[in-house]
Amino acid sequence: MADWLAAILLGLVEGLTEFIPVSSTGHLLLAKQALGLADEPWNTFIVMIQLGAILAVVAVYFVRLWKVLLGLPGKDPAARRFAISVLLAFLPSAILGLLLHDFIKDVLFNTTIVCISLIVGGVALIVLERWSDAGTMGLRRRVKDGVVTLEQRDLAEDAMKLTWKTAIGVGLWQCLSIIPGVSRSGATIVGGLLLGVDKKAAAEFSFFLAIPTMVGAFALDFWESRDLITGDVAGLIAIGFVVSFISGLFVVRFLVDFVGRYGFAPFSIWRIVVGIVGLIAIQAYG
């Protein structure tokens, strides 16, 4: 297959999977393996085209994000609070990513690990869905005078008004996504739900958190791999970047409503099927 066509296919995979809880990096690694592409420069390509999908978030939420930027220099407490919450959520994975960057690319970029993570994550999403449907996710434990009771808690419904404590919690959950196959969006959405955030708000905060996270990953990988980025490689990255941006626009526009309507079941099934098929293929073809 021509390199430019491989770049288009991988860009499409990235854009369609970055914001849904199925792991874009995991799918890209499996696609790379299926296409018979070498580790380098394609592992670098996989990391760097993710910025295209992230720009899709900026495009869709441009008005809201622009208002935040305009409010930061002034005295808009809501803008500062939102910016700080995203920064606090970003820091845990940023620190871990810096410390483990080489280990992640050299050891964890492994198709067997990806497949196992897809299956485990799919089962976890099913359990979460059942728990949510049973109504227990919206309850909190309260002890008064030695008596334990469960009471309904209010869910945070605005992604731009999460408490700093909740934001840090979501950021800690995002650290799980250093393992390819876990899914950055899946980890942050699940973390948000468990911390009392509404489904729609959890998905939107995951979008916002993706911006500094993936920009940071892009910058780090660009610096680490700058010697590998020749003119031909840069051209392939540009192709994948544009394709991931266009396909990412589609997903960002429709994902929030889709999750609100159908939940995580479709993604759970997809993860498990892809993980099982991947393990079978690895055993059959090596």
Give tens-digit pLDDT for 252-284: 888 767 776 777 788 889 999 999 999 998 888
- The structure's pTM equals 0.78
- Per-residue pLDDT at 199: 76
What are 28-65's pLDDT values in tens digits? Answer: 988 998 898 888 888 888 888 888 888 888 888 888 88
Confidence at 185, pLDDT banded by 50, 70, 90: confident
Residues in the chain: 286
User: How large is the greatest C-alpha to C-alpha distance in the chain, in angstroms?
Assistant: 71
Confidence at 168, pLDDT banded by 50, 70, 90: very high
Confidence at 132, pLDDT banded by 50, 70, 90: low
Q: Return the closest-CA partner of residue 181 out of 247, 262, 276.
A: 276
What are 2-34's pLDDT values in tens digits? Answer: 899 999 999 999 998 888 888 888 899 889 988
Give the residues across from 151 on adjacent strands.
140
Token pair for 35:
């296409």
Confidence at 200, pLDDT banded by 50, 70, 90: confident
The dihedral region occupied by 146, where left means phi > 0, alpha psi between -120 and 50, and beta the remainder, is: left
Token pair for 249:
């626009």
Token pair for 207:
């979008």
Mean pLDDT, range 233-250, rounded to an integer: 91
- Per-residue pLDDT at 139: 46
Q: Count CB neighbours of 37 within 10 A.
A: 19
Percentage of the chain with pLDDT > 70? 90
- CB neighbours of 137 closer than 8 A, spacing ≥ 6? 128, 131, 193, 194
Q: Return the closest-CA partner of residue 216 out of 159, 165, 188, 178.
A: 178
Q: How far apart are CA 86 and CA 70, in angstroms?
A: 16
3-class DSSP state for residue 189?
A: helix
